[in-house]
Each structure stands twice: as C-alpha cells, then as structure tokens.
Structure 1
Amino acid sequence: MNYFLALTLTVLLLQKTVAQPALPPTPQRPVTDTYFGKTVVDNYRWLEDMANPETAAWFKAQGDYTNAVLAQIPGRDKLIDTFADYDSHLSVRYGEIKKRGNTYFYRKTLPTEKAGKLYMREGQKGAEKMLFDPAAYAPGKTYLMTAFTPSSNGQKLVIGLQEGGAELSTIRTMTVATKTFGPESITAVFGGEVSWLPDDSGFLYTPNNSMDTKDPKGNLNTKGRLHKLGTNPATDPDLFSIEKNPDFGIRADQYPIMFYSDDNTQVYGYLGTVDRRATAWVAPASEVGKPAIAWKRLCTVTDSVSSFVKLGNQLFLESVKGAPNGQILVTDATNPNPAKATVLLPEGKQRITRVGSSKDFLFVTLSDGINEKIRQYNPRSRQWAEVPIPLSGTTGLEAYDAAHSNEVLAYVSSWKQPTVVYDYDPVTQKLVSSLFDVKVDYPGVADLVVEELEIPGHDGTMVPLSLIYRKDLKRDGSAVCFMNGYGAYGNSSVPVFARQRLALLNKGVVVAETHPRGGSEKGQAWYKAGYKTTKPNTWKDFISSGEYLIKNGYTSAGRLIGMGTSAGGVLIGRAITERPDLFAAAISNVSCSNALRMENSPNGPVNAAEFGTVKDSTECMALYEMDAVNHVTAGTKYPAVICVGGWNDPRVIAWQPGKFAAALQNATSSGKPVLMQVNYDNGHFTEDKAVTFRNFANMYAFALWQAGHPDFQPAGVAKK
C-alpha cells in the first residue's frame, strides 16, 4: 500500500488553496453493525487498528500532508512568534505552590524554557533552590513533570514524569536534602498523583495496567495500592479494588482511588469516574496496612455528593440532591450520613462551583454564571464572611498546606484580566499581593471590549454567550469570528485570560465563547439538558450562537470559525454536519467524533457515564445521534476542517478524529481542504510550550486562511 506514503507535489486550483502535496487516499471498507434494529455502516473501522502498519502509515501520510499544507500558509510562523513574544511578557510563571513546614515547593517556568522545573525556598523570601529539571533527567529524551507531591514533613517528594505527552507517568521518590532519587520507579500512574501515608513511610496510588495508551485493558480493573519506601513495587499490596472489595459493586471502568483527609486522621476510598456524583467509603487512617480495611459507606450516587471536606469532627458535603445550584451539608465525620446531614448553606440563586479548606476554615466559591465570589465559614464561630477579592471574574483559593496552616493563595482572572495572585489570611480577612504574583502588561488589552449576552436557542431557551473584541469593531459582517464551545461533564466555560486568544483579538478577530447546555453555567439542570439523550441541545446551542453572531453583524458565514476540543468534538462535529453552510472553517481538536464507537477505545468505558452506552437501547440511539462520523453525507459542501489527534493521547484515541477526517475527505463536495494533523510529541495536551505554540498556530492559521483573514492568504490567490 505504498500509495499511503506517496506525496506527489501538485498545484490544486481550489478555492483559497495553495501549492500542496496530493491528499493521501483513504479506502472505504464497509463493516455493518445492527444496534437494536438500526443498521449502521462503518466505512473506516480499519483505522481503529492502530497497531496495523497500514493504519500507522495512513496516519503518517495524513500528518505529512497536513504539515506540508500548513507550512505554506502565510502568517503561521508569525503566529508562533507572537505566542512566544506574549509569553516573554511574563518574566516568570509559578504554579502548584505547596508548603510543608516553612518550605515552599513550586513549579517555575521562565520564558526561555519549554516547561517548568521544580524549586524550593525556606520561607517566601528565602533563597531559591532548584530541586529538579525534567529536561536533564534523561539526556536524549524529552520528559515533563506531571506532578510533584511533598511528604508531610517536606523531606521527601514523589515526582511524576511523562514522555511524549502520554499523561501516564513514571513516579520516582526524591530525598529533598540530597536531591537524589530513591530506587522506586513505578510506571503507568495517571497524572503522577499520590497520597503520602501520615508517617511519610510510603504512599497510596492507583496505577494503570499498562504504559500503552492504546491498550484496551490498560485502565480496566485497576487497583488502589500501598507502596512502602524501599520495597519492591512489584510486591505492593492491593488495598482497594474489585478483588479486594467484591461486595462494593465496583465496575471494571471505575478507578479505585485512596487518599487521606487533610488532617491525616481518615482515609477515603473513592471510585474515580466521569460521573460527578461521588461513590466513596471512609475508614480511620490506622486501618491502612491491615489485612482488610474496615470501610464505612460515605456516599453513593443517589446522594449526589460531588465533593467533601473534613474539618475537625465534621464532614462538609457539596450536594445537588434536590438543589440544582448546589448546597453545603454537614455531617459527623466518623459516621457520615448524607441522608441525615444538616443543611449548612442552602441552595441560592448562585451556583456552587468549588469547595475547599485551610486548617480551620471552609471556602465555598459561588458563580452567577460568569463571575465568581468566595465565602468562608468558621466552624468554631459558625460565622460566614465574604473573601474580599477586589476584581471580578473567575476566582479561587488554594491552601498552601491545608493540614497545618490557614495561609491561602487567592487568584482572579477574566476574559481581559491576566491572573492576579494574592496571599489571604482568613483569620484577619486581609488580602495582600503575593510574592508569587507577577505583574504583566500585554499589548492591546486596553482596547478590548467584553459583552455578556443571552441569545435565544433553537427551542427558545436563553443561552449565555460571551464576546470579546477590539473596540474599533465594525459590525458589518466583515470580521472573522472564532467561536469556541465545549458543553460536557458539567464543565462551564469560565472567564480566564489566554495569551493565544489575545493574538487573535489583536488581529481584529471577534472571539465568542459559547455556553451550551451540557456545561453548568446555569446549574445542574443546564448540565442535564445537554447529557446523553438531551445532548443535541449542546450543538444546537452552538449553532444558535453562530446564527446570532451572523444576524447581528459580528461576522458572516464565510468568516465564521468553529472549534471544539475533546468532548467538544461532539459539539463541533455535529454542528458542521447539521449546518455545514454556517461555517467557513472548523477545528476538531483531539475530538470525540465517533461516539457510537467510543466504548471500543481504551478510555471509552469510563465515559459511558457521561455519553451513554451501546448496551442500552435508548442511550445507544443517543450515541448515534451525537456521532459526527455517522452523520457525514456524501456530496455535501462541508466547510474547511482541520482534525487533530495526539498519537499518545490517553483520553481520546487518535482514530476518533482520524475517522472523522477520512469521512469528510471522501464526502465533501465544497473543494475546501480537510486535514488530519497528527501530533507524535503530544497527547491530549502538553506543558511543552514549543509544542503547544506550534499546535495552536497550525489550527488557527488554517482556520484564519479559510475564513479570509488577510494576514493568512497566499499571494496570487483570488479572494472569493
């Protein structure tokens, strides 16, 4: 099949095109399935076999073709330079600041560095010392630090390392005083997170079964394990799993995760899943290490508890049971009972978005759908108070050391406000600028306008829409508009400052952040209105947002770009298959595009709780409806599309966007290009700035080219 590798240069006289290699052909090999009486023909099932050399060659040829096309787009490389220039405005970036005793551990990244290094200092004003540089970990290889977890005494660290953006980390232990690694090397720990034992003699962790992100059994029947420092990880005992707890009803697709309360008096067994309703058990910390842990039920899905925090002898529960905007309940920590818990903070007009704590205080973040505020609660005085953050937008509090201190880092950001960081003392309620706050001034920010709107959806429901644009915008339909959407898992699109978005805004592009059903902008009901059988509302709200923008002169159909990422692949895939006339270009980034086949991917079973399962007749038909691949129709004039897949992606396997690209390439009659970008040095995302800048510049440049932006048009090509 050497035609997959053949890249014959030719000049394609197509609308808005450039000199480019020939598009690699994709054979159609029909496979017929019957789902509850419905016949479905899958022409691209063969692309799911990524271990097959023919499939690997197809992806390689598609990637080479795409790279050749993208390299010829004027403005692409300048966009990369702009991203790097904006990055250089921030003299240093801090992240994941954690305190143990008087020692601060943190990630620090300089503009000249691709990724962060691990540092420490004694006291905030102490001398800074570098502990670990992942770039120097293995010469000749590229490693990134996924996570670091200090022990309670700050003398040891567990560091998670990844290669190729896979997110499946190898974890190592480090002695802080000597900066030396211990003998442990434990593979396939998702994200590299662990929970240290109270005496710092080891840690709890849950590994995958394989480092292969394409292994269909890699994350099934996983086990919560205990590792004692200095022992062979191969002998680590199983403490929490289907085998260890056969009466708990644990499913194969659920992650059995164990972690301690902040005060280290309790251990929790938690079933990790995409279902926001927690299933968890609790036991005294002293039970860890016994032949069998004496677990007590903490909550189950019917309790609709999404998070819990222990302070003293009380357990505070965030629950949406009978309260779509959320409420805070309080119960006895030793014998928790959500059904008999007391309502501490009843449901209000504002939605509870996050709950956290310091040593003595509970913090609750509430949102009006766009802007957030934070309230604090003192269990001793039983008093509530407002946290006095002076700016509006997305806010947050993170305790430096919730077990031992009330010292808290506070932050706020918005669509046009770079993140501002404070230190906050809940005892005095004093907020001061943090040493970790870095002042920054970006070009063009002062000229930006933000509009928060509600527009009518397809069924009359009012749908939020956030617009950012330059104040000199002419609403005559001539502006290019970049419209982004997600709408899944109850995750809302919140106001945060993004340098890459600023690069578009400073080119006169209108940026539209949509808030379709499936998110939680309007609470639990908004989430459930874009979930499983109601999922069509998600892409229909996105379509309605585009129609509003065109009708009101912000843009026109020939200049509208749509983008969806990950689960937002359902949104963008079905938006362009339902309304191909509405868009000039679409970006389908690491996208769930073939919903009917998601359960056949390694990360698919765990996501059935969000999208549905083919094993249920009703949910199966809902999956078919949200499946973009199965709604591609031959002879349709589709917009220009760039699909993106990460070869090492553990969340959305690359054949999901790959099959969508193949279907569109064989079906479209518009003459507009359909590309399949393959990132071999990336997974679902990456911290590596060089890779990230290139990836987003590729997507943006392609879309801006096809939407007619003058900075991205090849010389000699007539505008249409």
Structure 2
Amino acid sequence: MKSLVLVSVLVSLVTVTLAQAPLSPVGKQLPATPKRAVSDTYFGKTVTDNYRWLEDMNSEETKAWFKAQGDYTNALLNQIPGRDKLIEQFIEYDKLLAVRYGEIKKRGNRYFYRKTLPSEKAGKLYMREGKNSPEKLLFDPLVYDKSKTFLMTAFTPSSDGKQIVIGLQEGGAELSTLRTLDVATRSFKPESISAVFGGTVVWNPDNSGYLYTPQNSTDVKDPKGNLDTKARLHQLGADPQTDPVLLSREKYATMGIRPDQYPILYYSDDNTQLYGILASVDNRVDAFMTSPDEVTKTTMAWKRLIAPTDSIYSFAKLGPKLYLQSVKGAPGGQILVTDADNPNPSTATVLLPESKRNITHMVSTRDFLFVTLSDGINETIRQYDARNGQWADVPIPFTGSMGIEPYDAPRSNEVLAYVNSWNNPGTLYDYNPETRTLVVSTYHVPMNYPGVADLVVEELEIPSHDGTLVPLSLVYNKKIKKDGKNVCFMTGYGAYGISATPYFSRRNLALLNRGVILAETHPRGGSEKGQNWYKAGYKTSKANTWKDFIASGEYLINHGYTSAGKLIGEGTSAGGILIGRAITERPDLFAAAISNVSCSNALRMENSPNGPVNATEFGTVKDSTECMALYEMDAMQHVQDGVKYPAVISVAGMNDPRVIAWQPGKFAAALQNASTSGKPVLLLVNYDNGHFTEDKTVMFRNFANQYAFALWQAGHPDFQLAPKQTATRNSR
C-alpha cells in the first residue's frame, strides 16, 4: 500500500487494465489459508511448517478448504477463452484415430485386447479366435455398475484362454477390485478381491487360481496401506479371506524383507521356477526362488536368487540359462548369463558387453532375448537366439522409441514391435525373429494428424550449472522464428532412472499447432546417459535435477526460442521436485508453472501413505545427510514471503494413491500467502481422478485446465481474457 501511495504522488495519470490483474470469479473469493506454525528440529536444524494442519485429510476444516480452493479454481478456469476449444481439439484429434488397440495378449489361438473407440471415454475388453477373425465384446466396464464409473485397470487371461482376471477401479484410485470372468459365458465368478494396486495377477500353471499382492486398505490415505504387504494365493471358488500367505515379512522374518517392499510372485516362462521379488523403487532386483510345487506347502523353501548388491535390473530364464541385465561395473549396462538352477551373478559370463549405447530394457520369448539400447534419446533393438547363440539387429526402419511386446512369451516367438517419435505417431508391426521380417500389424491403425508434417525436431546438448552437457529435445513448427516471442512449454521429470524417450502426443500436438515450442528436458535423475546419470540426480545429488531444468530454460531464452515472460515449466509427480524447486530458486525465469500431482513437500513425504516406500529414491529424515537433502528438495519449505513468483497451478487428485493431495495443496497455500507478483496461484482439485485416469472425459478436461491457465499467463493470444473494465485514476 505504501508503494502505491508513492507511485500515485509521482504519476499524474495512471491507466489500469483490470483484466491483466488476477481475476476474481463472480461470487467467489480465494479461500484464506491461516498459518499455524509447527516447528520440527532435524539434526539441529529447526524447520517451521505453517500448513501442517492441511495434512489431516479427515478434518472437516481441511475438506472444506480443498473444496473452496477447487471451486474458486474451477470458476476462474471457466472464464479463460480457449479452454473449451482445447477440449474440443483433444476430442477432434482423438476421433482421427479410428480405433485404439492396447495390451494385446494371445492365449492358445485367442487374442485378447483393450479396444477404445473415439466415441468411448474408456476401453472395453474384446477377443478374437485368431488374429484376423471377427471380434467379440467380452466386457464393458462402463456398464458394470451404472450407478458408478468403473474402469478396467488390467486384465490377465489364463494360459488356456478360458478365464480372465479383470482389475476394476473407481475414481482413478488405481487400487483395483479383482473379478474373474468366464470367457464362454461372459459371467463373473462370485468372489471379488479388493485393494490390489493396478489389478495385475499371475495365473498358476494349471489355471486353478492366481498369485496376487493386495494392499492393506482401500483407503488411499491409510498410512499403513502399503507397508508390510503379503503375497497370496487365490484358488478359484475359495473365500478370499482364507487365501494363504506365500511371502511376507511377517512369515519369513529371516529373509530381511523391509516393510516398504512389495513381495510379488511369478513363474518363469517355462513354469519350472517360482520367483519371489521384493519390489521397491530401487531399480536393483532383490529376489528369491523356489520350486512351483512349494506353493502348496505351509512353509516354502526360498533361496536367494539375486541380491541388490548384484546390481541386476532384470532377468529372464530361457531353457537352462538365466539372462541378467546388469549395471555392476558397467553403468551403461551389460547382459550376463548364468546357470538357471544354480544362479551366481558374481561368476556369470558376459554375453553382451557394455558399449556406447545404454541398455534400457530386456524382454524374452520362447527362444529369443530382445535387448533395447539407447544413445540417450533414440533406441535400437538387438535379438539373441538362445538356441544358436547368434545376435542380430531388429530391422525397425525409423528412429525414436522402440519396443517389443510378446503376444505369448512362454509358448511363442510371436511379438508386436513398435516405434514412435516426437513427430511420428508410430507404427505397430508383427515381427518374426526367425526370419527377421516386419509386417504392419493387424492392430496398427493409420494415423494422419494435422500439422505433423510441419514439425521439426532438434536434439541438443546444453551446458548446465556445472558445465555438464545435458540433452534437450525441442519440437516446433518449422515456421517458428527465434525472436524470443514464442510461448514455450518446457517439461521434465528426472527421477527413478526413468528416461524421457521420444513419444508422440496428441495433447502436445494441440499446443504445437498453436505455435507453442515443446521442450522435453533430460535432467540428471533419469537414465539418458546410463546409471551414472541416474545417480547424479538422486538423494544428496538431487539438486542437479532442477538445476539442469533451470539451465535448459536459460538456454532457450538466451538463444531466442522464448523469453521469461513466455516460458511455461511443468513437472508431474516426482517431477514436482523439479518444477517446485526451479520456480523457488529462479522465480524470474518462468511466466507460469504447472505442478501436477506433485511431490512438493519432500521433507514430509515419509508422513504420507506412499512416502516410506519412496525413501529409497529420495532419502529419509532418519539419516542426517539425506534429511538435509530432503530439505533442499522441499519446494514448500523454500517459498519465501515477498517474492514475485510466477503464476502457478498446483493439481491434486483426491483419489491419488501415489502423491497424497496435501502435498500439492500445501505448496499452493504457501505460494498464495507469499507471492507479491500479483499473478494467480491456483489449486486444481480433481475429485474424479487419482494420479491419472483412462477416462478421456476427465483426462481431457484436466489437461485443458492446466494448459489453458499456463497459456493465458504466458500471453498466448488464444487464451487472453477480454478487458472487462478500464479504470483511469487521477492523482491529486
């Protein structure tokens, strides 16, 4: 207020365009968020948390706050021109793909798959008796219970193709209810099993039942929901309450199972071995093995297969050999081979040595091993014939992201091969590794989208804060001029060793066809340059992740692609650390930021239901060094009063089992109370969504809201509010 008084004395005439200031929706006010300081001391460092009260998601006050925030945000977003046109464009592009096939699985001569038509908001389950035979609808989740909205998270056919376990979710929660469908009658067996993450199961070899690992609760807010979980066996027709526990920390105390590890069971492809995987966010395999006959015994004879110290990322059994994807002493990856009955990673033979291309994936069929290699961005695939020991290249004719998906790995060499890239929607092929021939698949649907032919791709390496060269992928219309006037949408992730490989996105195309530059960053924390790249953005080195992101933004501005008033930054989930710390460290660099279902309060992550299982990736407050690194990662704790922050939209999913809603909620509250830029800070609250959803109606609206807000704030002409009032003030 004092500043306004001084300015009014000096200026005789001030014209204020009210539409440029934060807009208040008619009848709505931004909810006030009181500060209620709670102090904690971590290894001598006192940290104040003003918004701890928002962590009580069962509190009526907290529920009311989220509701008021969401209502205000929705009312404001509804006023942004171009938002609804963006939804319409998502729908229009969706219609250009006549049908979408996914998760194609062969059992016997039957092909099962998910099929989605443009007119449908979610996929249905179909079957063909032969690849080119007429299809039959087996299950439509949208009519399963017309009083609710259910989606099919997963489906797993039995080996004889006579039964299918289907995972059903409601509201994007990802915690599924398992039902068993009889294919002949298209009717469900009476039993159901709840709270299974993702809904994936493993059938017994005789198809009498299946292996599964449920959560402890259906409540995504339950702090013990995913700790000390138990792998179980369900026999068809049995009461799920009596399903025996096959592997758990409680049952096998001497195996060293941690509370945060998920015990997951599956059989080797030839059904001669049963594996017990202790899954966590650690990419290194922690596994035991036993005979399949042991499942009927009260106590199973487990023996060590692979230890985390072996640094194995994946393994596959072909005949008498076990093939290992290893990074031990080879950060770019290598393939080892050992005896399957008596495996010993330390004495395994090198089958495919480390090279300039990183090994990113390994998958097997009946006789072949397929290995995906990457130059940091684009991929190639090699195949190994286990019968004669011969290597060969898979002759996919394009560059980009590639993959091999076996139709029925244990019983066939038949595979689906795919490729796509930043500016190529991609092709699906049926591939015969015996003859190394590719044929465009029956399940490939030609795609012809507007503007794709005008897109150019630049693959760059830019210097980061410490001189390290960081990959940066740019996609834009060939008519773009490097005059600093372009809106740029810059996104990044940088966690769990997940690389940002090329992909084609129709949502991105809607931006590209509006003249927006798409910048995909490749910060440390991914695996674009191998294991060392991952570890350079991990726990105590995590700062490299957001500093690489900042350096990418600086490069784009300095080289005329965009400007600070036109740059949008985006981060999702673990990418919330990246975007949160980027805007708190360099608020001047961005016009707007999207913090989507984001880890924004890293210091308190372990106090959320999914936090303890992620301590392996980010660190724990129980360790003095890692605790201080968590503080540095914590975006909310780095929000400072009186700073001019960019416009921010923070997104929370009320059914999110991965990042609880109070994480992005607390970040939004801190920014709303601290920022002096006059730019809006919104909290978008999705009650019909979790971390993400297949439901196109919900998904299109969600992303259109995020994009429209950011494009409005970055000055894109299609999203500007019409001036509602121009006031002239005379000073006296």
> Which band: TM-score by shorter chain?
over 0.9
AA aligned opposite 2:334: Q
Contact 1:400 1:408 survives alignment (8 Å)? yes
Q: Which amino acid aligns with 2:424?
A: Q
Given residue 436 of structure 1, which amino acid in structure 2 is its aligned partner? Answer: Y
Distance 1:257 1:100 in 2: 23
Match of 2:678 in 1: 671
What corresponds to 1:5 in structure 2?
none
The answer to whether the aligner puts 1:444 opposite 2:451 as a matched pair is yes
Residue in structure 1 matched with residue 258 of structure 2 by the alignment: 251
> 1:373-522 residue pairs with structure 2 within 5 A?
373-522=380-529
Matched, 1:537 2:544: yes
Q: Secondary structure at the match of 1:678?
A: strand
What SS does the aligned partner of 1:557 have? Answer: coil
| 1:206 alignment partner in structure 2 | 213
**CA 1:225 to 1:12, structure 2 compared with 1: closer, same or farther past 3 Å?**
farther
Equivalent AA in structure 1 for residue 324 of structure 2: L
Is 2:627 the partner of 1:620? yes
* 1:163 matched to 2:170: yes
Cα distance in structure 2, aligned partners of 1:717 and 1:349: 59
- Which whole-Å deviations, capped at 9, do the CAs of 1:47-102 have from their partners, x for residues lacking one? 00000010000000000000001000000000000000000000000000000000
Indicate yes or no: 2:15 matched with 1:15: no
For 1:97-133, what per-residue CA distance to the aligned partner results, in whole angstroms no more than 9, with x for missing partners?
0000000000000000000000000111111000000
For residue 658 of structure 2, the aligned residue among 646, 651, 660 is 651
Alpha-carbon distance between aligned partners in 1 of 2:724 and 2:274, rounded to the nearest angstrom: 65
Find 1:703's aligned residue among 700, 710, 717: 710
Q: Is residue 29 of structure 1 aligned with residue 40 of structure 2? A: no
8 Å CA contact 2:21, 2:678 repeated in 1 = no
Q: Tell me what 2:9 maps to.
A: none
- Structure-to-structure mapping, 1:32-111, within 5 angstroms: 32-111=39-118
- Equivalent-residue separation in structure 2 for 1:642 and 1:194 (angstroms): 37
How far apart, in 2, do the equivalents of 1:150 and 1:510 lie?
43
2-structure distance, mates of 1:206, 1:161: 15
**1:14 shift after superposition:** 6.7
Instruction: Indicate the residue corresponding to 2:593 in structure 1.
Output: 586
Q: Stretches of 4+ moved more than 2 A in 1?
A: 11-19
Structure 1 counterpart of 2:343: 336
Distance (whole Å) between structure 2 residues aligned to residue 48 and residue 420 of structure 1:
46
**Partners of 1:318 and 1:245 in 2: how far apart?**
28
What secondary structure is seen at the aligned counterpart in 2 of 1:571?
A: helix
Residues 113-262 of structure 1 correspond to what in structure 2 (within 5 A)?
113-262=120-269
TM-score normalized by structure 2? 0.96
Offset, 1:15: 3.5
Residue 566 of structure 2 corresponds to residue 559 of structure 1: yes
Distance 2:309 2:21 in 1: 54
Corresponding residue number in structure 2 for 1:684 = 691
Measured after TM superposition, the shift of residue 715 of structure 1 is: 1.0
Take 1:284 and 1:717, find their aligned partners in 2: how far apart are those partners? Answer: 74
Partner of 2:730: none
Structure 1 counterpart of 2:20, one-letter code? Q
Give the aligned residue type for 1:486: Y
Q: Is the contact made by 1:66 and 1:677 (CA closer than 8 Å) also made in structure 2?
A: yes
User: Per-residue displacement from partner, 1:164-188 (whole Å, max 9, x unpaired)?
Assistant: 0000000001111000100110000
Q: Counterparts of 2:502 and 2:146 in 1: how far apart (Å)?
A: 40
Contact in 1 for aligned 2:377/2:501 (Cα 8 Å): yes
Alignment of 1:569-584 (within 5 A): 569-584=576-591
Alpha-carbon contact 2:365-2:409 (below 8 Å) kept: yes
CA distance in 2, matches of 1:516, 1:428: 39
Partner Cα distance (1:604, 1:270) in 2: 20
Query: How far is 1:140 from its partner?
Result: 1.3
Quote the residue 1:598 is aligned against.
605
Residues 168, 187 of structure 1: 8 Å contact kept:
yes
Q: More deviation in 286-295 or 658-667?
A: 286-295
SS in 1 for 2:616: helix
Within 1, Cα distance between the matches of 2:324 and 2:190? Answer: 39
Residue aligned with 2:425, SS: coil
User: Which residue matches 1:641?
Assistant: 648
Cα 1:345/1:718, change in 2 over 3 Å: farther
Provide the C-alpha distance between the structure 2 equivalents of 1:242 and 1:551, rounded to a whole number of angstroms: 54
In the alignment, the residues of structure 2 paired with residue 285 and residue 718 of structure 1 have an alpha-carbon distance, to the nearest angstrom, of 75
> Contact conserved, 2:288 with 2:303, CA < 8 A, in 1?
yes
Deviation at 1:18, TM superposition (A): 3.5
Partner of 1:7: none
Report the CA distance between 1:295 and its aligned residue: 1.3
For residue 525 of structure 1, give the secondary structure of its aligned residue in structure 2: helix
- Structure 2 residue runs of 5 or longer lacking an equivalent are 1-15, 727-732
Deviation at 1:293, TM superposition (A): 1.6
Is 1:18–1:72's contact at 8 Å kept on the other side of the alignment? no
1:14–1:672 contact (8 Å) kept in structure 2: no
| 1:272-291 alignment runs, 5 A limit | 272-291=279-298
**How far 1:266 sits from its partner (Å)?**
1.0
2:327 aligned partner, one-letter code: V
* Residue identity in the other structure for 1:289: T
SS at 1:204 equivalent = strand
**Superposed displacement of residue 304, structure 1:** 0.6
Asked if residue 351 in structure 1 is aligned to residue 371 in structure 2, the reply is no
Match of 1:295 in 2: 302
Q: In structure 2, what is the Cα distance between the partners aligned to 1:97 and 1:184?
A: 26
SS at match of 1:482: strand
1:322 to 311, 317, 329: 329
Q: Which amino acid aligns with 1:29?
A: R
The answer on whether the counterparts of 1:639 and 1:670 sit within 8 Å (CA) in structure 2 is yes
CA RMSD, Structure 1 to Structure 2 (Å): 1.1
Higher relative contact order (CA 8 A, sep 6+): 2
User: Does the 8 Å contact 1:16/1:717 carry over to 2?
Assistant: no
Q: How far apart are the structure 1 equivalents of 2:581 and 2:610?
A: 21
Q: Distance in 2 between matches of 1:582 and 1:488?
A: 22
Q: Secondary structure of 1:288's match? A: helix
Alpha-carbon deviation of 1:294?
A: 1.3
With 82-91 and 277-286 compared, the bigger mean Cα shift is at: 277-286
Task: Note if contact 1:14-1:671 (Cα within 8 Å) is conserved in structure 2.
Answer: no
Q: Is the contact made by 1:203 and 1:228 (CA closer than 8 Å) also made in structure 2?
A: yes
- Looking at structure 2, the residues matched to 142 and 99 of structure 1 have their Cα atoms a distance apart, in angstroms, of 28
Cα distance, 1:413 vs. partner?
A: 0.4
The 3 A distance-change label for structure 1 pair 297 and 303 is same
State the secondary structure of the residue aligned to 2:524.
coil
Structure-2 residue corresponding to 1:3? none
Distance of 2:524 and 2:57 partners within structure 1 = 34
Offset at 1:13?
3.5
Whether the 8 Å contact between 1:17 and 1:717 is mirrored in structure 2 is no
Measure the CA separation in 2 of the matches of 1:573 and 1:229: 48
C-alpha displacement at 1:717, in angstroms? 6.7
Contact 2:19/2:721 (<8 A) preserved: no
Give the Å deviation of 1:419.
Answer: 2.3
- String of CA shifts for 1:533-588, please: whole Å, max 9, x gaps: 00000000000000000000000000000000000000000000000000000000
What percentage of residue pairs aligned between the two structures are identical?
Answer: 72
Distance 1:689 1:24 in 2: 30
